[in-house]
Structure 1
Amino acid sequence: MSTTEDTKSRRSRRAEPIDKRTAKNGKVTWTFQLDVGTKPDGSRDRQRFTYDTQTEARREYRRISSEVAAGTYVHLLTLTVDEACEEWLTGRRFRRGVSAANTRNHLKPARRYFGARKLSSLTKADVDKLVDWMLTAGRVNQRAKVDPESLSSRVCAFVALHTDGVSARAIQAQFPGQDIHTRLSALLKAGRVRRVSRGVYAVADTADGSQPRGVKPVTVRSTLTALSMMVQSYVDQGRLPRNVVALAERPADEIDDRDDDEDTDDPKAWTVAEVQRFRTAAQAHRLYAAWLMSTYGMRRSEVLGMRWTRFSDTALKVRRGRVAVGTETEENLPKSRRSRRDLPPPAELAAALRSLKKVQRAECLALGIPWSDDRLIVVDEAGAPLRPERYTDEFHKIAKAAGLRRIQLKGLRNTSVSLMLALGIPAHIVAAWHGHDPSMSLSVYSVVQGEDLAAAGTAAFGS
C-alpha cells in the first residue's frame, strides 16, 4: 500500500467516532455514540454502543449508521421478558375475560423461566431451552399447598400403607360414596401416586414431591403460541428485528405404541349406545333439558348462558356464554362469530325445555320470587345460576351412576360432532350447528369409533 493510500485509510478510520476505553479491571472495550432518530418529545435520540473488539465496533457502526440513514434501523428494546409480557397484556383488548386469563396463564412459564432477561437478547437456542425445561421440569409443585385432611391426602395416606400397590376397588371400598377416580387422577398428575399396573396404585417414589416433572406438549405449544404473539407485536412495532420464538420447533404429542387397551380409560367421546344410556339416566334429573343441550353439542358456556328469552319452539339463540374466570363467573359474548347462531331445537329438546320452565315457575311461586323470562335457564331450585364447576360435577355423577366410561364434559361435544358426521351430514352443516369452522369438525372434534372402522372395512369391497 502506498503512503497516500495508507494516509487515506487512517483518515477514514479516524473519521469513525470510535473510542477505546479501558476499565479499572483492565478490560478494553470500543464504543461510539450515534443519533438513531428522535424521541417522542422531539429531541434527538442519541445512543451509546459498546463492543469487545475494534473490528466489531467498526462493522456495527457502519451497519447502524447506514440503517439510520435509510430509515430501517430498529431501536433496541430494553424491556425484560416479564416487562414486555405485562406491557403487551395491558395493551390487548380481549373481548372475553376468560381469554385474558388464559393468555396470562400461558405466558407464566416463559416469565418464570426467563425472568429479568432482556427480550432483545433472546435467541432461538434460548426458546429451545425453555421448551426442554417445560417438558422436563416445568410443572409447578403444588405439594406445599396440600391440606392433610383433604380427601386426596387421605387417599394418598391409604395407598402408602400398601408398599406393593393397592387396587382402585380397594380404595373405593375404603372411601365409600366418594369420587375416587377423580382423586386418583389428580394424585397421578401431582406426582403423589403412581400407577403400578392397570387399576393398581402405589405411593410415588419421592414422598416429598421434590422430583421435577414436566408438562404435556400441548401446554408447551400454548405457551409458545402466546409468547410468539407477544414477540411478534414488538416486531410489528419495529422494536425487535425478528421473532425468534417462531423459529422454535413445537413439540408433538407422544404416540402410545402399547399393545394393551389402557388408553381407552380416557376416551374423548362416547358411542351412540353410551350417549343414549346417559340421556336415559339424566331423564330423572331436574335439569334434563340442559343435559340434552349438552348432548346436542352445545358448549358448557352456551348452556349456562342461555336465557328463556332466547328460547322458542323454532330457535335456540346462542348469544351469550357464562364461564369461570378464577373464583368468579363471567357472562360475555360467544367464543367467536361462528358461535353466534340460531339452532332449531329438536322436538324432544323443546319439550324438555317447556317442562323445565313450568318447574321453575312453580319454584318461584313457592318461594315468592317474581318470574322473569330474562332469567337464565340453568339455575338451582332457589333461582341461583349454577357455577360451571358444579355443572361439570353433576355430569360426572350422572355418568358414573349409569356405569359409563369417564369422559370430560366437553367430550359430549366430540360425541355430537362424531355422530353427525357418521350419519353422513355434511361437514359444513355439522360445523354450523356446533359454531365452529368445518376444519375443526374434521380435525379436532371428530372421533372415529370402532363400528365406523368396521363399516368402512366391510364396505370397501362389499364383503
Structure 2
Amino acid sequence: MTTQPSRETASKRSRRAEPINKRTFKNGKVTFWFQIDVGTKPDGSRDRERFTYDTQAQARREYRRITTEVAAGKYVKLLDITVTEAIDQWLNGRRGIRRITLQGYRNDLKPVRRRMGGKKLRQITKADGDGLVEWMLTEGRIDPRHYRPDSLMSQVAELIGQHPEGISAARIKTAFPDNDIHTCLSGLIRSGRVTRPRRAVYVLAINAQTHRVASGVKPVTVRSTLTTFGMVIQSYVDKGALPRNVIALVERPTDDINEDDDDEQAKSWTVEEVETFREAVRNERLYACWLLSCYGARRSEVLGVRWTRFDATALKVRRGRVAIGKETEENLPKSRRSRRDLPPPADLAEALDKLKALQQAECTALGTPWTDDRLIAVDETGVPIRPEYYSDMFQRLRQRAGLRRIPLKGLRNTSVSLMLKLGIPVHIVAAWHGHDPALSLGVYSDAQPEDLRAAGAALFG
C-alpha cells in the first residue's frame, strides 16, 4: 500500500526546490542568496544575476516574485548606479531647454546630491524622500563653503573686518577684481555677517557669526527639489530601469502661515503704493527702467532691451538677460507670447528719451562712441546692470520709500491686478504682459483689501 506524503513534507520538498543558498561570514553574519537567468545579453548569452538578502523568508519571497516577472516578461533589471551618477546622466540628456532652466534643475538637485548622492539609485525608498524633506526643512540651509577660510565670502568678510570705519564696494572690487563682489556682499548681508550703514559702504556686523547655525529652507524650495528629483526618477521608470517612482509618493510640505503677520503673503501693491514708489524713484538715474517694471515687464526683459528696439511707437521685446551662476546670458524671451510690441505710455516714452540723452552725454564725457545697439539698463560707464543688483536696488528703494516688502516680481503682479481692476479684458492684459490669459487670473492677479470691501458692500446693495 502506497502512503501519500503529508502536506508538511510536500511543503518542505517545495521549499528545498527553490535554489536558496545560505552563507555564513567569519563575523557570524548570515545571508541568503540565489542566482537566476533574467534575460539575454546583446551577444546572445544568458544574463544571469545574483541576489542577496538578509533573511531566508525575504529571499524566498523575492525569488518567487522575480521568477514570475521574468516568465511574464515584466522583470525590470535595476540599475547599479548612484544617485549622483543618475542625476548627471539625466542633466546631460536635457537638450532643447534654456540654460537658465538647466541651471534651475542643478540648483534644485544640490540638496539631493548632498543628502543621498552616494546611495544606489535602485535602493532609494519613500523613507529616503521623507528624510530628505525633513532634513531640508531643518538643516538644508547649511553651506559650509561660505565659511571656509579660503572661500570668497570669508576673504571679503576678513577684508571688511579690517576697516571698522567701513569700506566701500569699489575698494572691495579693487581687491577682488575677477569676482562677482555684489552677489558676494548680498550673501554676506543675508547671512548676518555684514551690514551696510550707508549706500555702498560695508562694515562687519556686531557679534558676526564665524559659522552658520543649522537652519532650514522654505517649503517652496523643498517642493521644487522634490519636483525635479521626481522628474529624474520618472525618467528611469519610463526607460524600464526602475519599477516605480517612490519620490512621487512623498508628501509635499505646505507653506507656513503666520497668523500674526499681515504682510507675509503680500505679492502686490495698491495703486497708491505704486504711485508712491514711482514718485520716490523719479530722480533715480534708471527711472525709466523702474517705470518699465511698474508697467509689468519681467526683470529679464528690462535688462535685455536695447535702444534699437525703442521708438515713439513701440518698445519691442525680443531678448532677455538672465543670471546663470556668475555669468549673465542674453537669449530669446521666455516664451512665444513674450515676444511682443508694447506702445509705450507717454510717461515711459519721456523717461526713456531722457535716459537715452543722459547715456549719450556720459559716453561723450568718457570718450566712448555711442551706438544704438547698447542696452538700456547700464551704469554710468556703460557696464550692463546685473540681475541680482537690480533686484537688490529695488528692495533698497522700496525700503527707503517706506513701502511694504514685495519681491521685484510683485510689480508685475501689481500691473496685472490693476489692469484687471480697471476692467481691461483679460486677453489684452495677457498680451501686454506676454503670457497666457489663464496666468493673468490664476497666478498674477491679486485682490487688495479695498477690492474685498467693495465686493462685500455690493453683494446686497
TM-score (ref. length: structure 1): 0.79
Rounded Cα–Cα distance in structure 1 between residues aligned with 2:262 and 2:44: 64
Report the counterpart of residue 64 of structure 2 in structure 1. Answer: 62
Instruction: Give how far 1:298 is off.
Output: 0.7
Rounded Cα–Cα distance in structure 2 between residues aligned with 1:74 and 1:31: 19
**1:290-305 map, 5 Å:** 290-305=289-304
The alignment status of 1:235 with 2:237, answered yes or no, reads yes
Verify the 8 A CA contact 2:395 2:405 in the aligned structure 1. Answer: yes
Tell me whether 5-14 or 270-279 shows the greater mean CA deviation.
5-14
SS in 2 for 1:285: coil
State the one-letter code of the partner of 1:274. Answer: E
SS in 2 for 1:264: coil
State the one-letter code of the partner of 1:351. Answer: E
Closer/same/farther in 2, CA of residues 39 and 430 from structure 1, 3 Å limit: farther
Report the counterpart of residue 165 of structure 1 in structure 2. Answer: none
State the one-letter code of the partner of 1:298. Answer: A
Instruction: Give how far 1:232 is off.
Output: 0.8
SS in 2 for 1:338: helix
State the one-letter code of the partner of 1:264. Answer: D
Report the counterpart of residue 449 of structure 1 in structure 2. Answer: 448
Rounded Cα–Cα distance in structure 2 between residues aligned with 1:43 and 1:336: 50
Report the counterpart of residue 358 of structure 1 in structure 2. Answer: 357
**1:165-184 map, 5 Å:** none
State the one-letter code of the partner of 2:4. Answer: S
Rounded Cα–Cα distance in structure 2 between residues aligned with 1:369 and 1:43: 72
Rounded Cα–Cα distance in structure 1 between residues aligned with 2:349 and 2:194: 46
Structure 1 segments unaligned to the other structure (5+ residues): 156-181, 193-201
Report the counterpart of residue 140 of structure 1 in structure 2. Answer: 142
Report the counterpart of residue 409 of structure 2 in structure 1. Answer: 410
Closer/same/farther in 2, CA of residues 58 and 141 from structure 1, 3 Å limit: closer
Rounded Cα–Cα distance in structure 1 between residues aligned with 2:375 and 2:334: 18
Report the counterpart of residue 392 of structure 1 in structure 2. Answer: 391
Verify the 8 A CA contact 2:296 2:433 in the aligned structure 1. Answer: yes
Instruction: Give how far 1:75 is off.
Output: 1.0
Instruction: Give how far 1:92 is off.
Output: 1.6
Instruction: Give how far 1:460 is off.
Output: 1.8
Closer/same/farther in 2, CA of residues 27 and 405 from structure 1, 3 Å limit: closer
Specify which of 190, 193, 204 is matched with residue 186 of structure 1. Answer: 190
The alignment status of 1:371 with 2:370, answered yes or no, reads yes
Rounded Cα–Cα distance in structure 2 between residues aligned with 1:245 and 1:299: 33
Tell me whether 264-273 or 104-113 shows the greater mean CA deviation.
264-273
Rounded Cα–Cα distance in structure 2 between residues aligned with 1:140 and 1:114: 16
Map Cα deviations across residues 270-307 of structure 1 (whole Å, 9 max, x no partner).
Answer: 22112112222333333222111111111111111112
Instruction: Give how far 1:320 is off.
Output: 1.8
Instruction: Give how far 1:117 is off.
Output: 1.8
State the one-letter code of the partner of 2:87. Answer: C
Verify the 8 A CA contact 1:191 1:209 in the aligned structure 2. Answer: no
Map Cα deviations across residues 121-170 of structure 1 (whole Å, 9 max, x no partner).
Answer: 1221221122112112222156735525648x979xxxxxxxxxxxxxxx
Closer/same/farther in 2, CA of residues 437 and 185 from structure 1, 3 Å limit: farther
**1:25-40 map, 5 Å:** 25-39=27-41
Rounded Cα–Cα distance in structure 2 between residues aligned with 1:392 and 1:346: 24
Structure 2 segments unaligned to the other structure (5+ residues): 148-152, 166-185, 196-204
Rounded Cα–Cα distance in structure 2 between residues aligned with 1:79 and 1:28: 26
Rounded Cα–Cα distance in structure 2 between residues aligned with 1:148 and 1:369: 37
Report the counterpart of residue 89 of structure 1 in structure 2. Answer: 91
Verify the 8 A CA contact 1:268 1:408 in the aligned structure 2. Answer: yes
Verify the 8 A CA contact 2:188 2:194 in the aligned structure 1. Answer: no
Instruction: Give how far 1:77 is off.
Output: 1.8
Verify the 8 A CA contact 2:142 2:212 in the aligned structure 1. Answer: no
SS in 2 for 1:35: strand
Tell me whether 450-459 or 248-257 shows the greater mean CA deviation.
450-459
Closer/same/farther in 2, CA of residues 357 and 110 from structure 1, 3 Å limit: same
Report the counterpart of residue 200 of structure 2 in structure 1. Answer: none
Rounded Cα–Cα distance in structure 1 between residues aligned with 2:129 and 2:96: 26
Instruction: Give how far 1:311 is off.
Output: 2.7
SS in 2 for 1:30: strand
Tell me whether 68-77 or 430-439 shows the greater mean CA deviation.
430-439
The alignment status of 1:432 with 2:431, answered yes or no, reads yes
Map Cα deviations across residues 310-351 of structure 1 (whole Å, 9 max, x no partner).
Answer: 334443332221111222211122223333333332233233
Percent identity of the aligned residues? Answer: 63
Instruction: Give how far 1:449 is off.
Output: 1.6
Verify the 8 A CA contact 1:82 1:116 in the aligned structure 2. Answer: yes
Verify the 8 A CA contact 1:338 1:436 in the aligned structure 2. Answer: yes
**1:258-269 map, 5 Å:** 258=260, 262-264=261-263, 267-269=266-268
Closer/same/farther in 2, CA of residues 94 and 113 from structure 1, 3 Å limit: farther
SS in 2 for 1:416: helix
SS in 1 for 2:419: helix
Rounded Cα–Cα distance in structure 1 between residues aligned with 2:351 and 2:66: 71
State the one-letter code of the partner of 2:39. Answer: G
Rounded Cα–Cα distance in structure 1 between residues aligned with 2:443 and 2:194: 29
Report the counterpart of residue 80 of structure 2 in structure 1. Answer: 78
Structural RMSD (CA): 3.4
Verify the 8 A CA contact 2:320 2:331 in the aligned structure 1. Answer: yes
Map Cα deviations across residues 217-259 of structure 1 (whole Å, 9 max, x no partner).
Answer: 111111111111111111111111111111111111112122x
Verify the 8 A CA contact 1:141 1:209 in the aligned structure 2. Answer: no
Tell me whether 85-94 or 118-127 shows the greater mean CA deviation.
85-94
Map Cα deviations across residues 58-92 of structure 1 (whole Å, 9 max, x no partner).
Answer: 43333223322332211112122222222212222
Closer/same/farther in 2, CA of residues 90 and 183 from structure 1, 3 Å limit: closer
Report the counterpart of residue 332 of structure 1 in structure 2. Answer: 331
Rounded Cα–Cα distance in structure 1 between residues aligned with 2:210 and 2:359: 50
SS in 2 for 1:270: coil
Rounded Cα–Cα distance in structure 1 between residues aligned with 2:40 and 2:315: 57
State the one-letter code of the partner of 1:139. Answer: R
Rounded Cα–Cα distance in structure 1 between residues aligned with 2:44 and 2:428: 57
Verify the 8 A CA contact 2:126 2:246 in the aligned structure 1. Answer: yes
Rounded Cα–Cα distance in structure 2 between residues aligned with 1:314 and 1:431: 20
Instruction: Give how far 1:450 is off.
Output: 1.9
Verify the 8 A CA contact 2:414 2:446 in the aligned structure 1. Answer: yes
Verify the 8 A CA contact 2:111 2:140 in the aligned structure 1. Answer: yes
The alignment status of 1:285 with 2:284, answered yes or no, reads yes
Instruction: Give how far 1:414 is off.
Output: 1.8
Closer/same/farther in 2, CA of residues 23 and 264 from structure 1, 3 Å limit: closer
Instruction: Give how far 1:50 is off.
Output: 1.9
Instruction: Give how far 1:429 is off.
Output: 3.1
Verify the 8 A CA contact 1:148 1:154 in the aligned structure 2. Answer: no
Rounded Cα–Cα distance in structure 1 between residues aligned with 2:314 and 2:164: 49
Tell me whether 14-23 or 329-338 shows the greater mean CA deviation.
14-23
